[in-house]
Amino acid sequence: MAREARDRYDLSDVIGPYTKLEPRGASRSEKVGLCPFHNERTPSFEVNDDKGTYHCWGCKAGGDAIHFLMNIKGIRWREAVEWLLGAELPRVSPEERARRKAEDEQRRAGRIALARAIWNGAGPPGRTPAEVYARSRGITMPLPDTIRFAMTPRWYDPESGEAGRDYPAMVCALQDAAGAITAVQCVYLQHGGREKYRRIREGQAVPAKLTWGVLPGSALRLGPACDRITLCEGPEDGLTLAQEMPDRSVWVSCGTAMLHQIALPPEVTAVTLAGDNGEAGHKAVLRAMSAYRAHGLGVDSVFPAPSFKDWNDQLNGKGR
């Protein structure tokens, strides 16, 4: 009876009245939102409809639909089961779940194929705007093989195959735990690489960095897989740390929200989290420390000097 009650609905429909959930990544089954169990400004509450589970990286709340109802309503296990059996929510059949899973897998495969096509169309960064950009950020070391240069669009239509005009970009290869490329982050450039791409649209700056493929779980590797890695948020910070600490293997999550989600290979047994200063950076490190310790890894953290926002600013003497 309990399994029937749990599997009858999408967990996100059960949780939806208590917090707004947004899709995450390529999968329709994965959603994220603000935790309904504690006050927060940055979403750390994750829901997976395919698995029927939720988890908060902030307060550590987690479980299935029954656990959620018990905790949010303050009711007992049997009452939660009865509530689910009597709820007027959209029912989801096993066939519908199987169809969704197949669609998610197809969508994921398409995104990864696009990322690999961009990577395969890119070339060495030497004497290109990608190298100019790296040097402008104080990076003097040779750029690693996971950095390339490409002329590549800023938008793609996955259904029609249409794409926009090409722009120069520093292309970063992101790899999963097995070392396969599953995403690329493109740092779009202008003025021959002396600056990141800058445009204002409807009063807002458009992002200079766009990621193609499947980002969650993957990382830009600026060094080999080994027993201890240093993990940071952005490519510029990663290159800075790799240059300043040539004896350390530096990896990059390519996003603050991704810092805790890297799928690490078995060789890695310890992680040093090199965070950014500021509230978002410190919260990301705390969440990542919790996540990696839960996987049995040794974890510590370091930050730039307080007067600098990030590691690259510290390298270049650009205080906050």
Q: Residue 259 domain-assigned?
A: yes
Q: Residue 18 domain-assigned?
A: yes
Q: Are residues 72 and 156 in the same domain?
A: no
Q: Are residues 232 and 275 in the same domain?
A: yes
Q: Are residues 225 and 298 in the same domain?
A: yes
pLDDT at residue 207, as a whole number: 93
Single pTM value for the model? 0.85
Q: Residue 282 domain-assigned?
A: yes
pLDDT at residue 26, as a whole number: 67
Q: Are residues 209 and 230 in the same domain?
A: no
pLDDT at residue 201, as a whole number: 83
Order of strands, sheet of 27-33, starting from the edge strand that comes earlier in the sequence: 21-24, 27-33, 45-48, 53-56, 62-63
Average predicted confidence (pLDDT) for the chain: 94
Tens digit of pLDDT for each residue in 122-164?
Answer: 999 999 999 999 999 999 999 999 999 999 999 998 778 899 9
Q: Are residues 76 and 127 in the same domain?
A: no
**Residue after which a domain boundary falls, among 215, 243, 264:** 215
Q: Residue 102 domain-assigned?
A: no
Helix axes 77-86, 65-73, angle to 10 degrees: 110
Q: Are residues 237 and 306 in the same domain?
A: yes
Q: Are residues 72 and 120 in the same domain?
A: no
Domain that residue 169 falls in? 111-215
Q: Checking phi first, is residue 180 left (phi over 0); if not, alpha (psi -120 to 50) or beta? A: beta
Q: How many CB atoms lie within 10 A of CB 206?
A: 13
pLDDT at residue 320, as a whole number: 74
Give the C-alpha separation, 227 to 269, whole Å: 5
Tens digit of pLDDT for each residue in 16-50?
Answer: 999 999 988 767 889 999 999 999 888 889 999 99
Tens digit of pLDDT for each residue in 65-74?
Answer: 999 999 999 9
Q: Are residues 202 and 231 in the same domain?
A: no
Identify which of 171, 167, 147 has the alpha carbon closest to the alpha carbon of residue 156. Answer: 167
Q: Are residues 248 and 310 in the same domain?
A: yes
pLDDT at residue 44, as a whole number: 85
Q: Residue 250 domain-assigned?
A: yes
Report, as an integer, the average pLDDT of 248-277: 97
The tally of domains found in the chain comes to 3
Residue 58 Cα distances to 21, 34, 248, 279, 280, angstroms: 16, 10, 29, 14, 13
The domain that holds 306 is classified in CATH as: 3.40.1360.10
Q: Are residues 8 and 39 in the same domain?
A: yes
CA-angle at 120, arms to 119 and 123, nearest 5°? 80
Q: Which of 90-94, 95-99, 200-204 has the lowest mean pLDDT?
A: 200-204
The domain that holds 37 is classified in CATH as: 3.90.580.10
Q: Residue 98 domain-assigned?
A: no
Q: Are residues 208 and 233 in the same domain?
A: no
Q: Are residues 226 and 300 in the same domain?
A: yes
Q: Residue 105 domain-assigned?
A: no
* pLDDT tier for residue 199 given thresholds of 50, 70 and 90: confident
pLDDT at residue 61, as a whole number: 93
